[in-house]
Amino acid sequence: MIDFASYLRPGDGVWWGQAGAEPSVLVDALLDQVASIGPVRAFFGLTWNGRLTRELPDELTVLSYGGLGELRFLSRHGRLDVVPCHYSSLPRMFAAGMLPCDVGLVQVSAPDAEGMVSLGIGVEYIADALAHTRLLVAEINHRMPATRGAPRLPLDAFAATVETDRPLLEAVPRESDAVDRTIAEHVASLVHDGDVIQVGVGTLPTAVLEALGAHSDLDVHSGMITDGVLDLVEKGVVTGARKEIDQGLVVTGAALGSTALYDRLADYPVEFRPASYTHAPEVLSHLRSLVSVNSAIEVDLLGQVGAEIRRGVRIGAVGGQVDFSRAASLTGARSVIALRSESGGESTITPVLHGRVVTTARVDVDAVVTEHGVARLTGQTVAESARRLIHIAAPHHQEQLHKNLVEQEDLR
């Protein structure tokens, strides 16, 4: 196993890949050794590593761009330091040394005939961090696919390697219910044939992709893709034929889904690009028919979106939501926020954001969707936007929201 004391000094910083691309064998080894190394700062994104919730050493400080997966537990217990930022900012933050980048831990594919390995299903911020990292350590997983477009690295790029043959972590969403499907149908009504779509990960985004099955000539440019995207490619719904750039290609930074998704990536026109491409404003501005579909925790009557904090705990992130919402609203087709009208018996359409943090500004949101309908906000007055949002709230919360509308001066 890797002796991290040979590569990390007290006070150093380390980063690693997220989700299915997390090099968990290396991460576990680091957790075993960090107490004897001294204080170390670590940056990473979405993780399902349960050890981080059970035995996080005091010597390890965890930084992330949000509270995704098991990071919610760390947030709840005061062990998570969040660096709020747009996902598109991560490349320049690594370049400027603002994020830990002494050592990078990556999970890569087995070497090809030329001795090169691929970053596989997790390119995103990893590809941008490589050039600014002192040394790299790799988990060479024989089940990691060598993906199209992903950077290829020679074995001598790594200070040390370990070989594994383990399944990639899967993320299979729960089965969508009637509410999810109703919201998805409303969202699908806002998508036109030939549009370029960006959609997130989870049960509701999966339902949205399923609801797009009757469309034609759709294109995809997204931070992550799931099984649902490849299903639409397979059905001939996603063709990329009308895309202004990268015609015929699904462009993404990562794949997150089932083993079946990972195994069939090579059979489809999917290209993996770094965050400096997938989320770059100058790239997104070329996609004139971009439709962004993002989720939220709550939306206030001004149309401001909260997608990070619930009951004082960070459970989300700014991530790429603002990058895509702003591009879709300004230079693309339309920006959509989709959410259930209730959570835990409380209205998600609220007079003010309970989490107090605005993730996406009201001017970057063209429409808000719940199971009760679509509130189109662009071009509306403050008061009319509030009335439209109340109309799509859960019916038994609408009377109180109307009272709030009358009482709040900034909503009149």
Secondary structure (3-state) at 64? strand
The DSSP call for residue 366 is S
CA 106 to chain centroid, in Å, comes to: 18
The pLDDT value recorded for residue 408 is 77
183 contacts 337 by C-beta, under 8 angstroms: no
The pair of structure tokens assigned to 336 is 């959509």
d(CA 295, CA 306): 9
The CA–CA distances, whole Å, from 122 to 125, 139, 145, 146 equal 8, 13, 10, 11
Residues in CB range of 68: below 8 A, 6 or more apart: 18, 45, 46, 47, 315, 316, 317
CB hemisphere CA count around 396 (13 angstroms): 3
In this predicted structure, what is the pLDDT of residue 172? 78
pLDDT band at 214 (very low <50, low <70, confident <90, very high): very high
Alpha-carbon distance of 127 to 315, in angstroms, equals: 25
Q: In sequence order, what E strands does 182-341 have? A: 196-199, 219-225, 250-255, 270-272, 290-295, 298-300, 305-306, 309-310, 313-314, 334-338
pLDDT tens for 215-241 read 999 999 999 999 999 999 999 999 999
Instruction: Spell out the residues 6+ positions from residue 316 whose beta carbon is closer than 8 angstroms to its own.
Output: 66, 67, 68, 297, 307, 308, 309, 359
Are 8 and 14 contacting, i.e. CB atoms less than 8 angstroms apart?
Answer: yes
The helix (H) or strand (E) run that includes residue 347 is strand 346-347
* Neighbour tally for 136: CB within 10 Å: 20
SS3 content of the chain, % helix, strand, coil (to 5): 35, 25, 40
pLDDT digits (tens, 9 = 90+) for 179-197: 999 999 999 999 999 999 9
At 412, is the pLDDT very low, low, confident or very high (cuts 50, 70, 90)? Answer: low
Let me know: does 66 contact 308? Beta carbons within 8 Å.
yes
Residue reference for tokens 């993996």: 272
Using the structure block, give the residue that is written with the tokens 């985004």. Answer: 205
Distance CA 368, CA 334 (A): 11
- pLDDT tens-digit series, residues 112-132: 999 999 999 999 999 999 999
User: Does pLDDT of 55 surpass 80?
Assistant: no
Number of residues that this document lists for the chain: 412
8 A C-beta contact, residue 212 and residue 257: no
pLDDT, mean of residues 123-143 = 97
Distance CA 151, CA 157 (A): 12
The pLDDT assigned to 310 comes to: 87
- Alpha-carbon span 70 to 340, nearest angstrom: 23
Cβ neighbour number for residue 53 with a 10 Å cutoff: 17
Q: Give the model confidence (pLDDT) of 314-353 as tens digits.
A: 888 999 999 999 999 999 999 999 999 999 999 999 999 9
Is the distance from CB of 61 to CB of 34 less than 8 angstroms? no
Q: Residue 300 — φ and ψ, nearest 5°?
A: -90, 175
Secondary structure E strands in 35-128: 40-43, 60-64, 80-82, 103-108, 116-118
Q: What is the distance of C-alpha 344 from the center of its chain? A: 24
Alpha carbons 109 and 139: distance in angstroms, whole number: 9
Asked if the model's pLDDT at residue 293 lies above 80, the reply is: yes
The pair phi, psi for residue 155, each rounded to 5°, is -60, -30
Average model confidence (pLDDT) across the chain: 95
Beta bridge partners of 272: 252
For 375-393, what is the mean pLDDT?
A: 96
pLDDT at 411: 67
- Classified as helix, coil or strand, 375 is strand
- Give the closest residue to 300 by CA, choosing from 226, 371, 235, 360: 360
Query: What is the pLDDT averaged over residues 373-387?
Result: 96
Task: Pull the structure tokens for residue 293.
Answer: 């579909």
| pLDDT above 90: percentage of residues in the chain | 89
For residue 167, what are the contacts with CB-CB under 8 A and spacing of at least 6? 143, 259
